[in-house]
Copies of this chain bind each other. A is one copy, B any other.
Amino acid sequence: MRNLNENNITDAVIARFQGCDDPRLKAVLTSLVKHLHAFVRDVEPTEQEWAFGIDFLTRTGHMCDDKRQEFILLSDTLGVTMLVDAINHRIAGKATESTVLGPFYVADPPETPMGGGIGWNVEGEPLFVEGQVRSAEGSPLSGVVVDVWQSDGDGFYDVQKSGMDSPSLRARFRTGADGRYAFWAVTPSAYPIPTDGPVGQMLEATGRHPYRPAHVHFMLKADGFETLVTQVFAEGDSYLDSDAVFGVKDSLVRTYEQRPPGKAPDGRVVERPWRHLSYDFGLKPL
């Protein structure tokens, strides 16, 4: 294989994977080469554009560390993440719909007692979140691991804030015998995804805004059920129809109800206005 040109190089590269003894890997790389080459043939990049692409990917990699995942942001903003999500969760049935994980999940959040607060070290409008986790047939599921995480009222996650070394607005609960979960947080805000990296430059250069509508993230795990990764969005948010990462579904939008000062459903007396979000989840059997 020499004297390769634009007509024969794709077959030559694919042939080079013939010795691959992992059929799935071989299929994925064969498809990658086909589609990547088709993209190159379609746009016919100049050498300067190719070099820009290399540099863009390099800078994207250099933005990534243990608190920042710029390649996930890139996947999110190009709609790849939601496409992968859609392909992997085709039939929700009575189960809750899924959406993007996002770049701010941190594994093993602090175990927190049911009904506890997760807004450690942050100010904001109190938000009481509660609901029930059920099987798709409607039976309450106990012992479900419920990870929650969210931005604060200014739109920032703990990992984005300098000087905040301990977790905040992220926690792990386990549902009780009645399948219920509940916690106190602060009302999250719509926020821009981080724009100080290559993805932000791409959005800026293409006239796209970087905002996501306000939401609380959930990840639910239970034996015998598919892990559910989803978000519950705030009804009325300005960005529900132009989410920078294409993640909004009607079934995931709820009113974060405004409440006057007074007694909350858990008996706590709140001295100031607060909000109430109620959302029940359905898990899909494996």
Interface residue ranges, A against B (CB under 8 Å)? 1-6, 9-10, 12-13, 16-17, 19-22, 25-29, 31-47, 49-50, 54, 57-62, 64, 69, 71-72, 75, 78-88, 90, 202, 205-208, 240-243, 246, 248-250
Contacts and interface: CB of A to CB of B under 8 A. Distances in A.
Given A4-B86, A61-B58, A88-B46, A17 B208 contact: yes
A119 B34 CA distance: 41
Contacts of A42: 31, 34-35
A151 to B, nearest CB: 20
Across the A-B interface, give the 6 residue pairs with the lowest CB-CB distance, nearest first: A61-B61, A19-B207, A13-B79, A35-B39, A20-B206, A2-B248
Q: Is the interface of A mostly helix, strand, loop or mixed?
A: helix
Nearest to A244: B16
Given A1-B246, A2-B240, A35-B39, A45 B57 contact: no
Contact of A45 (B19, B84, B249): B84
Contacts of A36: 35, 39, 78, 80
B3 A249 contact: yes
A54 B69 contact: yes
Given A1-B241, A28-B45, A13 B87 contact: no
A79 to B, nearest CB: 4
Given A13-B79, A246-B12, A6 B64 contact: no
